[in-house]
Amino acid sequence: MKNRLKIERAILNITQEELAGRIGVSRQTINSIETNRFVPSTVLALKLSMLFGKSVNDFFELDDDEK
Amino acid sequence: MEKKLKQDEEIQKIEKITGYQLPNKFKIIGLVLFVISFISIASISFYLEKMKYNDFLVRLAETGMILGLLIISISKEKIEDELIAKIRMQSYNYAVIGTVLIYLIMPFINLAVVASFSSMPKMDGSKDVAVLGVLLTIQIFTFRKLKRAYNEK
């Protein structure tokens, strides 16, 4: 799964630490999502969606082999 | 409906055990307990070798050592989130499979080594088989129980 978390975070001009604090996870979790090492749960994805004010589909996308 | 509630209860019952965690500060307590117990084992074996309750004291220290590790294992991280939950699950998985494989293979390696020095080599590790059996049986039964509970309509 690909994501645009880093870009969305840059748009909001916040650090990984700040984003992590806002959705109640660790900085390492945000870093792992950004580097595609960890796929978050629906709950976490929806929290991010609320924070960015965008649909989950706008910043998470399935890889070609996952479609 | 009643069946669904029963399955939910099953899941909650298991989650109560698997989800139970000690606060983060217990990591230090576990580490201290482990170190003290570890030093105690060496001290008891060295200084109290001929004492009447030597075996009991060694066992007590060994129990403390394992309890210390267990406390470290079930203590929360500073920030406990879903990545940590995943990492914890992976590490338990790795630990179980690794332990089973090591304890299955080690007695044969020991036997091979001892056989090269002794004419009457003895196979050890028979108690390990029971522990490994219990470990895997619990895992298989819990897996099946949870699978059934989650799949129930």
**Quick check: A24 and B86 CB within 8 A?**
no
Domain-embedded: residue A12: yes
- Does the CB of B83 have a partner CB in chain A at under 8 Å? yes
Q: Are B64 and B37 in contact (CB under 8 A)?
A: yes
Tokens 């008891």 locate to: B44
Helix (H) or strand (E) holding B12: helix B2-18
Question: Residue B80: its pLDDT value, please?
Answer: 92
What pLDDT shows up at residue B141? 94
Q: Which residues pair with A3 in a beta bridge?
A: A60
Domain-located, residue A66:
no
Distance (Å, whole) CA B24 – CA B8:
29
Q: State what percent of residues in chain B have pLDDT above 90.
A: 54
Q: Are B82 and A25 in contact (CB < 8 Å)? A: yes
Domain boundary assignment for chain B: 1-20+80-153, 22-75
State how many domains chain A has. 1
CATH code, A48: 1.10.260.40
ipTM surpasses 0.90: no
> Is A36 a member of any domain?
yes
Query: Would you state the pLDDT for residue B11?
Result: 83
The mean pLDDT value for A34-43 works out to 94
For chain A, how far is it from start to end, CA to CA, in angstroms? 10
Q: Write the CA distances from B122 to A38, B102, B132, integer angstroms.
A: 48, 19, 20
Residue A37, domain extent: 2-56
